[in-house]
Structure 1
Amino acid sequence: MEIIREEFIKLDINLENKKEVIDYIANLLINSNRVRDKGLLLKDVYLREEEASTSMGLGIAIPHAKSLSVKEPTVVFLRLNESIKWNEDKDIKMIFGIFVPAENVDNQHLKILSSLSRKLTDEQYREALLKVKSIKDSERLLQGLNAS
């Protein structure tokens, strides 16, 4: 199962704040038929955001949710043109959205989150994601997530 594909990768987009980012991701998931109910997904994402910030520092935020609205596990990667504020962090430029069905078979979201977090601690990997020129090359860099 492919949790990340070209259609879930958007490079150099202009979004102004966390709310716009989360709404953009929800629309992307609705339009690709990965989500049943945008409102329910947004509710679940914001509930998770209330528990603790999903900013991990290093210019990266990882909003994520388990939701009855999610049909199949999906990872979205957005690289912004300009950094935005995400709670206390002011320099967020890369966003990885992780969304899994509520039943969360085999702790999928934790496996994906763990795999992604390990990769993102590597400075060269982060730099490659910041500099990559095409969606296809981004997908190649992120392919390891499909094995999670």
Structure 2
Amino acid sequence: MNLIAQLLPESHVLLGLEAGSKKRVFEQAGQLFETSCGISQTLVFDSLFAREKLGSTGLGQGIAIPHGRIKGLKQATGAFIRLAEAIAFDAPDGRPVAQLFVLLVPEQATEEHLQILSELATRFADRPFREKLAVAPDAVTVRQLFSA
């Protein structure tokens, strides 16, 4: 099992999420991590938002990888979110974002953090992969795509 699949349980896959803004996506991600991992929604939101202020985590091609460091987190965790409608994300190509991988890492996990981000960027650079994710019918299929 690859690095990404290890940190993406099926319960962390949200498909067809209604969110009209980056802020709303971060709120929803915070709610997901609070419910499933016990990480404060506010802490998740603040961490993601603080990172986004440094520069957009939009990659282009309708993809973003918002990420943040969480004090006290024992191991990295992630969530895949596919939006019902793409939103503005200040991506380098100017395109709105519809697919996001939200990554949370321990406060000191620099090497692991960079390794995961690199693997995600490589996966999302693959057009057939993005296209399959865009039409995946359920969380099981999404997780299988990340596991392949």
* TM-score above 0.5, yes or no: yes
User: TM-score, structure 2 length as denominator?
Assistant: 0.88
Q: Does 1:73 align with 2:76?
A: yes
Q: Does 1:18 align with 2:22?
A: yes
Q: Does 1:108 align with 2:112?
A: yes
1:85-104 alignment to 2 at 5 Å? 85-87=88-90, 89-104=94-109
- Deviating beyond 6 angstroms after TM superposition, the runs of 4 or more aligned structure 1 residues are none
Q: In 1, Cα distance between the equivalents of 2:89 and 2:141?
A: 27
User: TM-score, structure 1 length as denominator?
Assistant: 0.88
Q: Structure 1 residue 5: deviation in Å?
A: 0.8
Q: Secondary structure at the match of 1:32?
A: helix
Q: Structure 1 residue 39: deviation in Å?
A: 2.4
State how many pairs are aligned.
142
Aligned-pair identity in percent equals 28
Q: Structure 1 residue 90: deviation in Å?
A: 4.4
In the superposition, relative to structure 1, how do residues 116 and 34 fare at CA in structure 2: closer, same or farther (>3 Å)? farther
Q: Structure 1 residue 34: deviation in Å?
A: 5.0
User: Partner letter of residue 109 of structure 1?
Assistant: H
Q: Structure 1 residue 40: deviation in Å?
A: 2.7
Q: Secondary structure at the match of 1:47?
A: helix
Q: Structure 1 residue 69: deviation in Å?
A: 5.0
User: Partner letter of residue 30 of structure 2?
Assistant: A
1:47-72 C-alpha deviation (Å, 9 max, x unpaired): 21111111111001111011205343
Root mean square deviation, CA, Å: 1.8
Q: In 2, Cα distance between the equivalents of 1:83 and 1:69?
A: 32
In the superposition, relative to structure 1, how do residues 34 and 119 fare at CA in structure 2: closer, same or farther (>3 Å)? farther
